[in-house]
Amino acid sequence: MSNFDFDSIPHIAEVSACHGAYAEENVNEKNLMSFDERQKESKKVLPSIEEAIRRVGLKDGMTISFHHHFRNGDYVINMVMDVIAKMGFKGLTLAASSLTDCHWPLIEHIKNGVIKHIETSGLRGKLGDAVSHGLMDFPVIFRSHGGRAAAIESGELHIDVAFLGAPSCDPYGNANGYNRDSEEGSCCGSLGYAKLDALYADKCIIITDHLVSFPNTPFGIPESQVDYVVKVDNIGDPNGIMSGATRYTKNPKELLIAQYATNAIVASGYFKDNFSMQMGSGGASLAVARYLREKMIEQDIKCRFALGGITGQIVQMHEEGLVKKILDVQSFDLIAANSVKNNRFHQQIDASYYASYLNKGAAVNQLDFVILSALEVDTDFNVNVMTGSDGVIRGAVGGHPDTAAGASMTVVVCPLLRGRIPTICSKVNTVCTPGKTVDVVVTDQGIAVNPARPELYKRFVEAGLPVTTIEKLRDRAERIAGTPESIKYGDKIVGVLMYRDNTVLDVIREVID
Amino acid sequence: MEEFFVMEIKKTGVAGTMESSDIIVSIEPKETDGIELTLESAVMQQYGKQIEKVIRETLGELGITRAYVNAVDKGALDCTVAARTAAAAYRAAESTDFVWKNGGVK
């Protein structure tokens, strides 16, 4: 080492990331334990959720986040909230990527003031019902997956602590949506929504039921983003997290809708080699995948990539070579989850990459077409996926408005009637996806094309498809079912629907029984 | 149908199922004048009044003036509501003088 005077180095004061001269006493003593001993001693692994909450310094009024990859089998949110409530915290904002039926115990935490405000993609069951009946003073903010991602990455939705359940994790925090070391336990596949929370949260706690040896590669969440790891007995009910394979519908109405939708896709001009697509997990959507597969084989057309929530149907097409690549933000069934683990070109992506309007490139913008479901569609092509026919919150925005905005052709599939309730109506209860971004509505009794897309209309007519107008579909529905009496709403606003650019698209009002 | 025809309810008559898009209608004898109707429906808010109207109209057309009627609706269309009500009424009246008509969607 040559002798030098630090201050005499030319321009040294202008060099950034230079912290003065080296000093030996600042270098830590080396750890001489073996790798195996070391990982057993990992300081990140804590004995309890309570201890982790203490260490991250949770305070009243902070924002905490969760993901919804465990769907209706999730134990993590209720488990963590019970601990937080017991520790006496108040006034928290719960910003989950979504919430579902199993999260009804949150009602008590809301009543007791532990939770002051909720941000989510959706609400269902008892919790949705309670919110619709005026449970909360602060309206629930509903964001699409892309809108939430944008809010997080812009820093506007600041997460203080993320509590992220993971089916496997090593002692340093490398977490996965499956377990590579054994076939036991829970499995959710992609950790797409959790990835973004881990990246942006001030503090990130992984909660796992399978602590595996380092390195838990390839990982969904890297240790560099993880503060603490807590091992618990169970993070969820495997049967609630995933069904073995998403069931294939036998409902003739859904099959008819799927046939019409498939024929519309084939006639649209977007069905050519190297096309791209996203499909939902609803009965009709899955049937579209099946019919489209036959058309692809018949016409020797391959799909370049399939995006989104991924199902076993898409995986099957991938393994047959019909779908070249899969971009997966959320795995819908066990086949899809195992494919994330086993297929090289089944790529896990985060919520921002999936659908944010704000980043430098989101995959929804590379979609040829998307197949989406709907609770209601109105004659302006606006879609409701949030409130039921009784006005009660029982759905989720999900990626609906994001993919609708991104795809060249947005196809909404729905029956003309559900039981007695018309799906096609004059005005939807709640606008989740604006009609401007919806191109085609396929029902069991005809196809309506947005007047903004005359070329699609022309192609469908030429292909001999049963094309009609959205007004005629509405009239037919009302002729069969009768015109329903409107829902009785109060004045109180209980929910706010954010569009994907985080502007207020609609509000949900309290329901009066 | 005769104008002043009165159908007498003799026993409990039931028609329909609890399946989705169906309605189960049960009709029982009543000593005094009037139809006493209890209705449960999956679409009460949107179609409750309409369902009640169809049941009462159907009973009126059959000449039934005294009955307890209990209906549990699972989103049946008007034509189904009318058909189940009529079937239950004929059974309750132990009548086989069916006068079917083309009801339902106009």
Q: Which of A419, A481, A485 sits opposite B49 (nearest CB)?
A: A485
- Closest residue of B to A388, CA-based? B43
| pLDDT of B2 strictly over 50 | no
The minimum CA-CA distance between A429 and chain B, rounded to whole Å, is 13
And the tokens for A353?
């990459």
Q: Which residues pair with A496 in a beta bridge?
A: A141, A507
Closest CA to A264 of A284, A239, A243, A234: A284
B-chain residues near A425 (CB < 8 A): none
Is residue B38 within 8 angstroms of chain A, CB to CB? no
Helices A312-319 and A334-342 meet at what angle, rounded to 10? 40
Sequence-separated contacts (24+) of A340-346 with Cβ below 8 Å = A340/A177, A340/A178, A340/A189, A340/A190, A340/A310, A341/A178, A341/A180, A341/A189, A343/A315, A343/A318, A343/A319, A345/A318, A346/A310, A346/A315, A346/A318
Supply A449's token pair: 């094309």
> How many C-alpha atoms does A376 have within 13 Å on its Cβ side?
25
Q: Does B47 touch chain A (CB under 8 A)?
A: yes
Residues 410-449 of A with CB under 8 A from B: 418-421
B75/A contact by beta carbon, under 8 A: yes
Which of A193, A130, A183, A160 shows the shortest CA–CA distance to A59? Answer: A160
- Å between A419 CA and nearest CA of chain B: 5
Continuous segment of H or E residues that includes residue A51: helix A49-56
A512: contact with B, CB 8 A cutoff: no
Whether A461 and chain B come into contact, CB under 8 Å, resolves to no
Whether B105 and A420 lie within 8 Å, measured CB to CB? no
Other beta carbons within 10 Å of A58? 18
Asked if A276 and A366 touch (Cβ cutoff 8 Å), the reply is yes
- What angle, rounded to 10 degrees, do the helices at A49-56 and A76-86 form? 70
Shortest CB distance from A420 goes to which of B49, B76, B106? B76
Between chain A and chain B, the number of residue pairs with CB atoms below 8 A apart is: 41
Q: Is B30 helix (H, G, I), strand (E, B) or coil?
A: coil
Spatial distance between the Cα atoms of A339 and A189, rounded to a whole number of angstroms: 8
Query: Tens of pLDDT along A23-58?
Result: 999 999 999 999 999 999 899 999 999 999 999 999
Q: Report the sign of the C-alpha dihedral through residues A437, A440, A443, A448, in that order.
A: positive
Number of helices (H), then strands (E), in chain A: 16, 28
Within 13 Å of residue A293, how many CA atoms lie on the same side as its CB?
20
Computed over every residue of chain B, the mean pLDDT equals 89
Give CA–CA dist A146/A500, Å, rounded. 6
Give Cα A430 distance to the centre of its chain: 20
Interacting residues of B82 by C-beta distance below 8 A, sequence separation 6+: B54, B57, B58, B103, B104
Give every CB contact of residue A467 below 8 A, 6+ residues apart in sequence: A446, A447, A448, A449, A457, A460, A461
User: Residue B49: closest CA among chain A residues belongs to which residue?
Assistant: A485
A29 in contact with B at a CB cutoff of 8 Å? no
Question: Does any CB of chain B come closer than 8 Å to the CB of residue A389?
Answer: yes
- The model's pLDDT over A244-296, given as tens digits with 9 standing for 90+, comes to 666 778 899 999 999 999 999 999 999 999 999 999 878 888 899 999 999 99
Q: Characterize the bridge pairing of strands A409-413 and A440-443.
A: parallel
- A144, HSE (Cβ side, Cα atoms, 13 Å): 31
DSSP element (H, E) containing A308: strand A303-310
Cβ-defined contact of B106 to A419 (cutoff 8 Å): no
* Inter-chain touch A389–B43, beta carbons under 8 Å: yes
Cβ-defined contact of B47 to A487 (cutoff 8 Å): no
Minimum Cα–Cα distance from A513: chain B residue: B45
Q: What percent of chain A has pLDDT over 90?
A: 91
- Joined together, the tokens standing for residue A298 give 């018949």
Amino acid at A139: P
| Interchain contact A478–B (C-beta under 8 A) | no
Phi and psi angles of residue A267, each rounded to the nearest 5 degrees, phi first:
-85, -10
What is the full per-residue pLDDT of chain A (513 aa) written as tens digits? 788 999 999 999 999 999 999 999 999 999 999 999 999 989 999 999 999 999 999 999 999 999 999 999 999 999 999 999 999 999 999 999 999 999 999 999 999 999 999 999 999 999 999 999 999 999 999 999 999 999 999 999 999 999 999 999 999 999 999 988 777 778 999 999 999 999 999 999 999 999 999 999 989 999 999 999 999 999 999 888 876 666 778 899 999 999 999 999 999 999 999 999 999 878 888 899 999 999 999 999 999 999 999 999 999 999 999 999 999 999 999 899 999 999 999 999 999 999 999 999 999 999 999 999 999 999 999 999 999 988 999 999 999 999 999 999 999 999 999 989 999 999 999 999 999 999 999 999 999 999 999 999 999 999 999 999 999 999 999 999 999 998 889 999 999 999 999 999 999 999 998
Contact list in B for residue A389 (CB cut-off 8 A) is 43, 46
Contacts of A418 in chain B (CB under 8 A): 75
Q: Identify from B21, B39, B45 which residue to disrupt to test chain A contact, counting A C-beta atoms within 10 A and taking the largest count.
A: B45
Residue B103 reports pLDDT greater than 60: no
Q: Is the CB of residue A450 less than 8 Å away from at least one CB of chain B?
A: no
Pairing relation of β-strands A504-511 and A489-498? antiparallel
DSSP A177: S
Q: Check if A481 contacts B (Cβ < 8 Å).
A: yes
Q: B45, A479: Cβ pair inside 8 Å?
A: no
Q: Do B21 and A481 touch (CB under 8 A)?
A: no
Whether A363 and A327 have beta carbons less than 8 Å apart is answered as yes
Parallel, antiparallel or unpaired: strands A369-373 and A409-413 = parallel
What residue ranges of chain A are covered by domains with CATH 3.40.1080.10?
Answer: 39-241, 252-487
Question: What pLDDT score was predicted for residue A244?
Answer: 62
Q: Does A218 touch chain B (CB under 8 A)?
A: no
Average pLDDT of chain A is 95
Residue among B49, B74, B77 minimizing CB distance to A480: B77
Q: What is the value of pTM for the model shown?
A: 0.92
Instruction: Identify the CA nearest to A159 among candidates A202, A211, A212.
Output: A202
User: What backbone phi and psi angles, to 5 degrees, belong to A417?
Assistant: -130, 145
DSSP state of A309: E
Q: Taking CB atoms and an 8 Å limit, are A482 and B49 in contact across chains?
A: no
Dihedral sign (CA A90, A93, A95, A98): positive
A481: chain B residues, CB-CB within 8 Å: 47, 77
Query: For the segment A309-354, what is each residue's pLDDT rounded down to a tens digit?
Result: 999 999 999 999 999 999 999 999 989 999 999 999 999 999 999 9
Cis peptide before A105 (omega within 30 of 0): no
* CA-atom Rg of chain A in angstroms: 25
Do the interacting molecules here have an ipTM over 0.85? no
Considering only CA atoms, which of A248, A193, A237 is closest in space to residue A65? A193
- Please tell me the distance in Å from A483's CA to the nearest CA on chain B: 8
Does CATH place domain A39-241 in 3.40.50.720? no
Report H helices in A100-155.
106-111, 125-132, 145-153
Tell me which residue in B21, B42, B47 faces A482 most closely, judged by beta carbons: B47
Domain boundaries A252-487, CATH class: alpha beta
